[in-house]
Amino acid sequence: MLLMNLLGIRKASFYFIGGVLLWWFILQSGIHATTAGILAALMVPTRPYANKVWFQRKMKNVVDNFEEVNQPNST
């Protein structure tokens, strides 16, 4: 899971599978299974998916579209 994080993989399904496998192996080792949850939580990506410029552009488009729809008809 750490390697997936470092490689920039963001799909939740990969982390879910990794978390289940981690939980299973820790459970079978005799260590309390809560430890797997803590370790899995530490491996979740924390960097934002999108950069600021992309996000600002998308939100400007959303606001512009909203304002366009919200305008009263001129006819």
Burial group, residue 35, by CB count within 10 angstroms (0-12, 13-18, 19+): middle
Of 7, 4, 8, the residue nearest 16 (C-alpha): 4
Neighbours of 1 (CB within 10 A): 19
- Residue whose tokens read 């001129």: 74
Are 33 and 26 in contact by the 8 Å Cβ rule? The answer is yes
Q: What is the pTM of this model?
A: 0.58
pLDDT tens-digit series, residues 55-69 = 899 999 999 988 888
One digit per residue, the tens of pLDDT, for the chain of length 75 reads 889 888 888 888 999 999 999 999 999 999 998 999 899 988 888 777 778 898 899 999 999 988 888 777 654
